[in-house]
Structure 1
Amino acid sequence: MAGGGNFINRVVSYVVNELVVDRLANSPSFQRFAVRTSKRIEDISSKAAQKKKELAEQIEDITKHIETKNH
């Protein structure tokens, strides 16, 4: 009997997931939200990459400065 209940739960879960995914995929509001979120993540990733590059350059400059002082 437990196996039958598990099967029914999976079917219900599948149907609910399909309905939710279909509704979200066809929702202009959700699509706008997804596009805005994606753009924000891209912007943050780009800024993080730029800051990483700047920090690496600063560390390199500091290292060169320390090396020239010690020689």
Structure 2
Amino acid sequence: MAGGNFVNRVMSYLVNELLVNSLANSPTFQRFAVRTSRRIEDISVKAAKKKEELAEQVKDLSKNFESFKNQ
């Protein structure tokens, strides 16, 4: 049984190496990876900006509510 496990791990390693090497050397995959990375960065920046805007709106609403409450 242990021999089968060893063979399975060796086969998995070889397939993994072939897959990684073929993708690493593929210009198409590299373009895909770069585009995907840029899109994720853009989305992250937009999300951070939106988070700041919402925090500011909540802060303003809180101030307005407090001033309304005190009248």
Which interval holds the TM-score relative to the shorter structure?
A: over 0.9
Q: Deviations over 1:40-68 (max 9, x none)?
A: 00011111110000000000000001111
RMSD: 0.5
Structure 1 segments of 4 or more deviating over 6 A?
A: none
Q: Deviations over 1:27-51 (max 9, x none)?
A: 0000000000000000111111100
Deviation at 1:70, TM superposition (A): 1.3
Task: State the alpha-carbon separation in 1 of the partners of residues 69 and 12 from structure 2.
Answer: 68
Aligned length: 70
**Other-structure match for 1:11:** 10
TM-score normalized with structure 1 length: 0.96
**Other-structure match for 2:36:** 37
Using the aligned pairs only, state the percent identity. Answer: 67
